[in-house]
Structure formats: structure tokens, C-alpha cells
Amino acid sequence: MTRTQKQADRTEETPGKQSRGAGSAVQSVDRAVSVLEILARLGEAGVTEIADELEVHKSTAFRLLGVLENRGLVAQAKDRGKYYLGAGVLRLAGAAAVRLDISQEGVPVCRELADEVGETVNIAVLDDNAAVNIMQARGAASVTAQNWLGRRTPLHATSSGKVLLGHLPPTLREGLLARPLPRFTERTITGTAALRGELEAVVEQGYAFALEELELGLAATAAPVRAHDGKVIGAISVSGPVYRLDSDRLPDLAKRTAAAAADLSRRMGYGF
């Protein structure tokens, strides 16, 4: 960076005339990330120190810190005026770690279950108002099955989604149930009362079913995966065509899926 550029960065911009273009927004994001990296490296730092590291005016550094503090990503030691990484960073890191851990630990579990039942096995986690599949294994009978990896699927119309939705804290669950429930097939549950009743059954019996509720011809069953503290952090599902996953076979598949989910839960530290 040249001397002229450094001076320009340190010059305070006039309120109301600050650029609102994409370049300015990207620069702000870049600087905010840099603040987090500085605090991660130093442990704690004051406004002046951060401004010097970023080569910006103190007021710019102060605004960045204010935004990050409002989001819980940094906190301030009031007695020293120093800033340090906040609990929000731990929350984000924890969410990323859970996804990484459940995906890694789930590989042998999913492969074993897929080999055992011959169908497609997925691990899904909650992502805002959807279930996203982060791990997939295919059994011998599912070699031509569609790829669900990375797909976001609706909570109310899938077996994994029902598991994740049913085990949410009541306030969060009711908030999601208050939203419109889109219909995908004539079997999709779109009534709040009916779905609430099904979720209660899912929690009580330990597994969920979805029979042609997302796609015609598709059936699935899923069971919850728990973290060390008992919190449900994901769901294992087995899916396939209804002519293979019929009413005679699904109950047995549900038990096998629940057993696999319990195995993965133990790998995640639950029950120790």
C-alpha cells in the first residue's frame, strides 16, 4: 500500500457521502474480518492498536468494533477499554465443528447402514428453516438414485426434517410452524395441527416417516443424532422408492436407522 493510499484510508469520510457501492461493502467486510483475525492473534487490543493494524482512522476502527460487538463477535473489557473475541465467535465455530464432526464420524456409520439395507443413507442438519444433507452413502440397490448431498429440503415434508423440527426448543419450533407449509404432493402435511401431532409422535417413538410427501414415489425414515449433551444435532435417514420401502419394510428400516443414529450419537459423545 502506498503512502497516499494509507493517508486516504486514514481520512475520515463525510457522513452521507460515504460510498455505498459494492466495493465499499466488500472493503468493510474485509476490514471486519481483519479485526477478528487481529484479536485472535493478540488476544485483546484497543481501538488505537486495531486502527494502526488496519491502517485506518480510529473512528473507522471504532465503527467496525461497534458492529461486531452488537453481533456478539467481540466484547469489551470495560475496565481496560480493550476488545477481545466474543461468545458469538464460539457459537459460529461450534456450529462449524459440529457439522465437521458429525460428517466425519458419520462416514463409517452411513456406509455400514447403506450396505446393510441396500438403500441411500443421508445425514442432515438444520440450516435455518431447512434440512441440508451433508453426508451420503449408497447401498447396492440405490446405484441409480438421485444425489441428495448438499440439498436443502423442507422440514415438514421429509423424515429428517421432521426429526430436526420435532426436537427444536418449543419457541423455535412454533415459530417455524407459524410459517406457510408448502404443498409438494397430495400427501404433504400442510396443516399446523396435523404436523404438530406428527412431530409429537416422532419424538415419542424415536423416528420419523415421510411417504411421498416431498416427491411422488419416494419414501424415507429418519432418526435423531445427539451430541454429548443430548441435544439433537442431526438426523440419519434411509430413503428409496416406495415399491421397496413399503409398509411392510419401513418399520424394520426405522429400527435399523434408529440403531445407526444411536451409534453415531455415541461417537459424538452421547451417553458417556
Here the CATH number for the domain that contains residue 182 is 3.30.450.40
Say yes or no: 151 and 55 in one domain: no
For 147, counting Cβ atoms within 10 Å of its Cβ (0-12 exposed, 13-18 middle, 19+ buried), the class is exposed
Tell me how far the alpha carbon of residue 183 is from its chain's centroid.
24
Say yes or no: 57 and 154 in one domain: no
User: Quick one: pLDDT at residue 43?
Assistant: 84
User: Quick one: pLDDT at residue 116?
Assistant: 94
The dihedral through the CA atoms of 113, 115, 120, 122 has a sign that is positive
Q: Of 44, 79, 97, which closes a domain? A: 97
Say yes or no: 183 and 201 in one domain: yes
Most confident of 33-42, 135-144, 204-213: 204-213
Q: Say if CB 158 and CB 210 are below 8 A apart.
A: yes
Could you tell me if residue 149 is inside a domain?
A: yes
Nearest residue to 237 via CA among 137, 121, 130: 121
Whether the predicted pLDDT of 80 surpasses 80: no
Q: Of 77, 97, 117, which closes a domain? A: 97
Cα 130 to Cα 261: distance, rounded to the nearest angstrom: 20
Q: How confident is the model at residue 19 (pLDDT cuts 50, 70, 90)?
A: very low
Whether the predicted pLDDT of 95 surpasses 90: no
Average pLDDT of the residues in 67-75 = 89
Say yes or no: 90 and 123 in one domain: no
* 146-159 per-position pLDDT tens digit: 677 788 899 999 99
Which residues lie below 8 Å from residue 44, measured CB to CB, with a gap of 6+? 77, 80, 82, 83, 84
Average pLDDT of the residues in 113-141 = 91
Least confident among 51-60, 96-105, 237-246:
96-105
C-alpha cell at 113: 447402514
Q: How confident is the model at residue 94 (pLDDT cuts 50, 70, 90)?
A: low
User: Quick one: pLDDT at residue 242?
Assistant: 94
> What is the share, in percent, of the chain residues with pLDDT greater than 90?
53
Say yes or no: 78 and 106 in one domain: no
Average pLDDT across the chain, whole number: 86
Domain total of the chain: 2
Say yes or no: 118 and 89 in one domain: no
Domain that holds residue 69: 23-97
User: Quick one: pLDDT at residue 244?
Assistant: 93
pTM: 0.65
Average pLDDT of the residues in 213-221 = 95
Q: How confident is the model at residue 10 (pLDDT cuts 50, 70, 90)?
A: very low
For 212, counting Cβ atoms within 10 Å of its Cβ (0-12 exposed, 13-18 middle, 19+ buried), the class is middle
Q: Say if CB 148 and CB 141 are below 8 A apart.
A: no
Query: What DSSP state is assigned to residue 258?
Result: H
User: Quick one: pLDDT at residue 5?
Assistant: 43
Say yes or no: 89 and 113 in one domain: no
Average pLDDT of the residues in 61-82 = 86
Average pLDDT of the residues in 202-226 = 96
Q: How confident is the model at residue 184 (pLDDT cuts 50, 70, 90)?
A: very high
Could you tell me if residue 3 is inside a domain?
A: no
Say yes or no: 91 and 104 in one domain: no
Average pLDDT of the residues in 185-214 = 96
User: Quick one: pLDDT at residue 194?
Assistant: 96
The residue type found at 147 is N
Q: Say if CB 39 and CB 85 are below 8 A apart.
A: yes
Could you tell me if residue 15 is inside a domain?
A: no
Q: Say if CB 221 and CB 201 are below 8 A apart.
A: no
Say yes or no: 153 and 77 in one domain: no
Say yes or no: 56 and 158 in one domain: no
Question: How many other β-carbons are positioned within 10 Å of the β-carbon of residue 102?
Answer: 24
